[in-house]
Amino acid sequence: MLPAKDIYEVAIVGAGVCGTALLYTLSNYTNISKIALLEKNQAVALVNSHQNSNSQTLHFGDIETNYTLAKAQKVNRAASLVKNYLLQHDPQQEIYTKYHKMVLAVGKEQTEQVKKRYQEFKQLFPELRLIEREEIEFIEPKVLQGRNTEEEILALYTPEGYTVDFQKLAQSFVDNALENRHKTIELMMGTKVKKIETRADLFYIHMEQKTIAAKTVAVMAGAHSLLLAKSMGYGRDYALLSVAGSFYFAPEMLNGKVYTVQLQKLPFAAIHGDPEVHDRRRTRFGPTAKVLPMLERHNYRTIWEYFQTAGLSLAAFKSFWKILSDPFIFKYILKNFIYDIPFIGKRLFIKEVRRIVPSIKLSELQFAKGYGGIRPQIVDLKSQSLEMGEAKIIGDRILFNVTPSPGASTCLQNARDDTERLISFLGEEYTFNRERFLADLAGEESYQSQSV
Ligand SMILES: Cc1cc2nc3c(=O)[nH]c(=O)nc-3n(C[C@H](O)[C@H](O)[C@H](O)COP(=O)(O)OP(=O)(O)OC[C@H]3O[C@@H](n4cnc5c(N)ncnc54)[C@H](O)[C@@H]3O)c2cc1C
Q: What is the pLDDT of residue 310?
A: 79
> At residue 446, does pLDDT exceed 50?
no
Least confident of 108-112, 239-243, 262-266, 349-353: 262-266
User: Which atom of ligand 1 approaches the CA of 220 most closely?
Assistant: 26
408 lines ligand 1 (CB under 6 A): yes
407 lines ligand 1 (CB under 6 A): yes
Q: What is the mean pLDDT of the chain?
A: 94
Q: What is the pLDDT of residue 447?
A: 39
Tell me the average pLDDT across 9-23. 98
Q: Half-sphere exposure of 282 toward its Cβ, with a 13 Å CA cutoff?
A: 11
Q: Are 406 and 45 in contact (CB under 8 A)?
A: no
Output the residue whose Cα is nearest ligand 1's atom 4.
54
Q: What is the pLDDT of residue 5?
A: 72
Per-residue pLDDT reduced to its tens digit, 127-145 = 999 999 999 999 999 999 9
Ligand 1 center to 407 CA (angstroms): 8
Per-residue pLDDT reduced to its tens digit, 248-266 = 999 999 999 999 998 777 7
Q: What is the pLDDT of residue 444?
A: 52
pLDDT grade for 1, boundaries at 50, 70 and 90: low
Ligand 1 center to 49 CA (angstroms): 5
3-state class of 232 per DSSP?
Answer: coil
Q: Are 409 and 40 in contact (CB under 8 A)?
A: no
97 lines ligand 1 (CB under 6 A): no
Kindly state the DSSP code that residue 127 receives in the 8-state scheme: T
User: Which atom of ligand 1 approaches the CA of 375 most closely?
Assistant: 53
3-state class of 111 per DSSP?
Answer: helix
Q: What is the pLDDT of residue 311?
A: 66
Ligand 1 center to 333 CA (angstroms): 21
Amino acid in the structure at residue 362: L
State the Rg of the chain over Cα.
22
Per-residue pLDDT reduced to its tens digit, 296-306 = 999 999 999 99
> At residue 451, does pLDDT exceed 50?
no
**Ligand 1 site-directed mutation target among 40, 50, 54, most atoms within 8 Å of CB:** 54
As separate numbers, helices (DSSP H) first and strands (DSSP E) second, the chain gives: 14, 20
Output the residue whose Cα is nearest ligand 1's atom 41.
193
287 lines ligand 1 (CB under 6 A): yes
> At residue 189, does pLDDT exceed 50?
yes
3-state class of 32 per DSSP?
Answer: coil
Ligand 1 center to 68 CA (angstroms): 24
Cis amide prior to 293 (ω within 30 degrees): no
State how far the Cα of 66 lies from the Cα of 279, in Å rounded to an integer. Answer: 28
224 lines ligand 1 (CB under 6 A): yes
Neighbour-count burial for 205-222, b at 16+ CB within 10 Å, e otherwise:
bebeeeebbbbbbbbbbb
Q: Spell out the residues 6+ positions from residue 390 whose beta carbon is closer than 8 angstroms to its own.
A: 378, 401, 402, 403, 404, 407, 410, 414
Q: Spell out the residues 6+ positions from residue 353 whose beta carbon is closer than 8 angstroms to its own.
A: 248, 250, 271, 273, 285, 360, 365
Q: Is 387 exposed, middle or buried (0-12, 13-18, 19+ CB in 10 A)?
A: middle
User: Which atom of ligand 1 approaches the CA of 56 most closely?
Assistant: 8
11 lines ligand 1 (CB under 6 A): no
End-to-end Cα distance, the chain: 44
Per-residue pLDDT reduced to its tens digit, 336-379 = 999 999 999 999 999 999 999 999 999 999 999 999 999 999 99
State how far the Cα of 193 lies from the Cα of 202, in Å rounded to an integer. Answer: 16
Q: What is the pLDDT of residue 153?
A: 97
User: Hey, how many other C-beta atoms are within 10 angstroms of the C-beta on 189?
Assistant: 13
Q: Are 226 and 400 in contact (CB under 8 A)?
A: yes
**Ligand 1 site-directed mutation target among 48, 80, 193, most atoms within 8 Å of CB:** 48
Query: What's the chain's length in residues?
Result: 452
Ligand 1 center to 305 CA (angstroms): 16
Ligand 1 center to 108 CA (angstroms): 37
Tell me the average pLDDT across 96-110. 96
> At residue 440, does pLDDT exceed 90?
yes
403 lines ligand 1 (CB under 6 A): yes
State how far the Cα of 301 lies from the Cα of 317, in Å rounded to an integer. Answer: 22
Output the residue whose Cα is nearest ligand 1's atom 45.
14
> At residue 159, does pLDDT exceed 50?
yes
Tell me the average pLDDT across 268-285. 91
Q: What is the pLDDT of residue 262?
A: 84
Tell me the average pLDDT across 315-326. 90
267 lines ligand 1 (CB under 6 A): no
Kindly state the DSSP code that residue 221 receives in the 8-state scheme: -
Ligand 1 center to 403 CA (angstroms): 7
3-state class of 287 per DSSP?
Answer: coil
376 lines ligand 1 (CB under 6 A): no
Q: What is the pLDDT of residue 21?
A: 98
Q: What is the pLDDT of residue 58?
A: 97
Alpha helix segments (H runs only) across 152-192:
166-178
Tell me the average pLDDT across 77-105. 97
319 lines ligand 1 (CB under 6 A): no
Question: pTM here?
Answer: 0.96
pLDDT grade for 443, boundaries at 50, 70 and 90: confident
Ligand 1 center to 245 CA (angstroms): 12
State how far the Cα of 71 lies from the Cα of 121, in Å rounded to an integer. Answer: 11
> At residue 452, does pLDDT exceed 50?
no
Q: Is 92 exposed, middle or buried (0-12, 13-18, 19+ CB in 10 A)?
A: exposed
pLDDT grade for 450, boundaries at 50, 70 and 90: very low
pLDDT grade for 209, boundaries at 50, 70 and 90: confident
